[in-house]
């Protein structure tokens, strides 16, 4: 038994224009750290080798969002943005080290619940609090474990035998079987996978062991002209834990992992037999590493391949889970009136700039996959190209359900854009981003910024360092052109846009002092 925090629940009601039987169900599937580059519907070369056919089904049945972004590229904060439809400063959950998510505030599940929906969340919560607004919840303890994890329900914690992704899928289908079938439902299926430390299901240990993945062109980035990029601690070949992350052992035929700072997260959750099977599955590959001498560059490339092999093998079970859920809906006649969403809590680096993890406003971390089907409302193979953000999820889903979003939600509904496949006149031209967690894991500096169609401006405000990128000519964001001759006009325009967005979203003055004090 584990003590849980108890927080108040405030009921929120809003008028629905649909009858009880007409309102769509919602299945919201979210993985953790699943990069766009690893979803084959997005077409990245890596994903064409390790395809995700079931996730792709959602795009084939509906829409793929080509320009969707997160507001704060970190797990807990992104989840809070999704639940509230508000930026981090407005919902109060700035970083993973925040004290707890304020569950007494207005959230998407509460509004749906107040309008007759049965609500549930199963899987990863990661908000240092007890879920509110849900009729049923069964959540992983903190980050959760891949093997034989603990799940928390109201007043109880129990360990379950099995693999986390499979368990979450099974629990979700069980809830769908037992739900109140007189009510529309909102189900959040939240996977741990493919979060660090990337442990595949046992059936996938050998899946990509002989696969060679393309090395990103920026893998050996020297970070010239980019202070924060140079001072991070999330480099694959310098900062990864060889045992914990890369499954490397201490030597030929060794049964001891190299550095693993959290042994209870990995081997500590396996039974002795499971551990033995794991070690045997990787033994030949680990022995091969020690069988010949390699240069530093060759070791760096080897580590990239091992990272890709375990990461993408972990993704495989998520894709299988999506297939099971979509199959369930189809087999039970629920697919015609159910919105299915697939997303991740943010983007992720798969070797770009030599990195893993997220946090930065640079492309692969800032970009956030989003695929959505709603048969009869969103045409198959639709493309949504307008700028969207995770603060838009809540108002959009409410709009699809015929429920008016509260005025203090900062996101906007993309319903019409998803249904028409066209970006409406007057749609937003810019996005605001803010990352707070410094000092913290991976030493990524706190920063905020603005993205427009062609340019991106970032401010690492504690050091008062600015970066400007022309995304048309520098898609990998390698060349900081801030303060370069000829950029004065575009810099002025983006700073004006940043001022406008910070005022629009009521960003506290402490994060706007640069307007008067920083270098112009």
Res 267: pLDDT? 86
pLDDT band of 13, cuts 50, 70, 90:
very low
Residue 188 DSSP class: E
- The pLDDT of 226-230, averaged and rounded, is 97
Domain with CATH 3.30.1120.10 in the chain: 431-517
Res 10: pLDDT? 36
Q: What is the pLDDT of residues 464-477, one digit of tens each?
A: 999 999 999 999 99
Res 509: pLDDT? 84
Res 97: pLDDT? 85
Res 18: pLDDT? 56
* Token pair of 339 as six digits: 């919105």
User: 64 near 42, Cβ under 8 Å?
Assistant: yes
Res 21: pLDDT? 59
pLDDT band of 15, cuts 50, 70, 90:
very low
What is the residue-averaged pLDDT of the chain?
94
* Token pair of 470 as six digits: 């022309």
Q: What is the pLDDT of residues 94-108, one digit of tens each?
A: 999 878 999 999 999
Specify which residues 189 forms β-bridges with: 29, 122
- The C-alpha atoms of residue 460 and residue 447 are separated, in whole angstroms, by 4
pLDDT band of 225, cuts 50, 70, 90:
very high
Q: What is the pLDDT of residues 106-164, one digit of tens each?
A: 999 999 999 999 999 999 999 999 999 999 999 999 999 999 999 999 989 999 999 99
- The C-alpha atoms of residue 312 and residue 208 are separated, in whole angstroms, by 8
Instruction: Name the helix (H) or strand (E) containing 458.
Output: strand 455-460
- The C-alpha atoms of residue 380 and residue 345 are separated, in whole angstroms, by 24
pLDDT band of 4, cuts 50, 70, 90:
very low
Res 516: pLDDT? 42
- pTM value is 0.94
Phi/psi at 139 (5° precision): -120, 150
User: Closest Cα to residue 232, out of 459, 437, 477, 432?
Assistant: 437
Q: What is the CA radius of gyration of the chain?
A: 23
- The pLDDT of 276-301, averaged and rounded, is 97
Residue 272 DSSP class: H
For 431-517, the fitting CATH number among 3.30.1120.10, 3.40.50.2000, 3.40.80.10, 3.90.380.10 is: 3.30.1120.10
Res 17: pLDDT? 52
Q: What is the pLDDT of residues 54-92, one digit of tens each?
A: 999 999 999 999 999 999 999 999 999 999 999 999 999
Distances from the Cα of 401 to the Cα of 6, 18, 228, 342, 417, angstroms: 30, 7, 42, 18, 16
pLDDT band of 514, cuts 50, 70, 90:
low
Res 125: pLDDT? 97
Q: Is the pLDDT of residue 336 over 50?
A: yes
Domain with CATH 3.40.720.10 in the chain: 25-197+313-420
Torsion, Cα of 463, 468, 471, 475 (10° steps): -50
Residue keyed to tokens 């959009």: 396
Residue keyed to tokens 């899946």: 207
Rama region for 34: left / alpha / beta (φ>0; ψ in -120 to 50; rest) = beta
- The pLDDT of 220-233, averaged and rounded, is 97
- The C-alpha atoms of residue 247 and residue 254 are separated, in whole angstroms, by 12
Q: What is the pLDDT of residues 304-330, one digit of tens each?
A: 999 999 999 999 999 999 999 999 999
CATH topology of domain 25-197+313-420: Alkaline Phosphatase, subunit A (3.40.720)
Percent share of the chain, pLDDT over 90:
90
Phi/psi at 113 (5° precision): -60, -40
């Amino acid at each position: 038994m584990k003590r849980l925090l108890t927080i108040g629940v405030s009921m929120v009601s809003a008028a629905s224009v649909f009858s009880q039987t007409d309102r769509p169900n919602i299945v919201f599937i979210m993985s953790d750290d699943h990069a766009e580059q690893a979803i084959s519907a997005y077409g990245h070369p890596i994903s064409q080798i390790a395809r995700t056919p079931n996730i792709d089904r959602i795009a084939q049945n509906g829409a793929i969002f080509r320009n969707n972004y997160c507001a704060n590229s970190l797990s807990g904060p992104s989840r809070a943005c999704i639940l509230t439809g508000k930026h981090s400063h407005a919902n109060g959950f700035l970083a993973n080290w925040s004290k707890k998510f304020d569950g007494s505030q207005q959230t998407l599940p509460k509004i749906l619940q107040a309008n007759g929906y049965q609500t549930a969340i199963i899987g990863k919560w990661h908000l240092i609090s007890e879920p509110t607004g849900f009729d049923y919840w069964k959540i992983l303890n903190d980050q959760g474990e891949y093997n034989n994890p603990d799940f928390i329900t109201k007043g109880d914690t129990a360990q379950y035998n099995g693999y986390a992704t499979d368990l979450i899928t099974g629990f979700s289908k069980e809830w769908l079987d037992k739900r109140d079938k007189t009510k529309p439902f909102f189900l959040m299926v939240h996977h741990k996978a493919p979060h660090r430390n990337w442990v595949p299901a046992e059936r996938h240990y050998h899946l990509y062991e002989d696969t060679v993945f393309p090395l990103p062109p920026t893998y050996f980035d020297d970070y010239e002209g980019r202070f924060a990029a140079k001072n991070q601690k999330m480099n694959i070949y310098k900062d990864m834990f060889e045992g914990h992350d890369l499954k490397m052992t201490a030597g030929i035929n060794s049964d001891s992992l190299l550095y693993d700072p959290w042994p209870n997260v990995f081997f500590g959750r396996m039974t002795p037999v499971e551990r033995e099977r794991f070690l045997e599955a990787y033994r030949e590959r680990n022995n091969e590493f020690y069988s010949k001498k390699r240069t530093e560059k060759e070791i760096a490339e080897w580590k990239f391949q091992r990272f890709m092999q375990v990461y993408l093998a972990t993704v495989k079970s998520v894709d299988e889970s999506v297939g099971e859920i979509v199959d369930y809906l189809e087999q039970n006649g629920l697919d015609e009136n159910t919105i299915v969403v697939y997303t991740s809590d943010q983007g992720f680096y798969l070797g770009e700039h030599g990195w893993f993890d997220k946090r930065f406003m640079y492309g692969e971390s800032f970009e956030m996959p989003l695929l959505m089907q709603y048969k009869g409302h969103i045409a198959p193979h639709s493309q949504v190209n307008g700028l969207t953000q995770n603060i838009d999820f809540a108002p959009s889903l409410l709009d699809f359900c015929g429920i008016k979003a509260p005025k203090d939600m900062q996101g906007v509904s993309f319903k019409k854009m998803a249904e028409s496949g066209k970006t409406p006149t007057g749609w937003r031209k810019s996005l605001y981003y803010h990352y707070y967690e410094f000092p913290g894991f991976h030493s990524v500096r706190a920063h905020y910024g603005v993205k427009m169609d062609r340019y991106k401006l970032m401010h690492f405000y504690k050091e008062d360092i600015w970066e400007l990128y022309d995304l048309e000519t520098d898609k990998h964001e390698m060349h900081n052109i801030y303060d370069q001759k000829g950029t004065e006009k575009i810099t002025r325009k983006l700073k004006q846009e940043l001022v406008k967005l910070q005022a629009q979203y009521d960003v506290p003055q402490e994060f706007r002092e640069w307007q008067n004090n920083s270098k112009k």
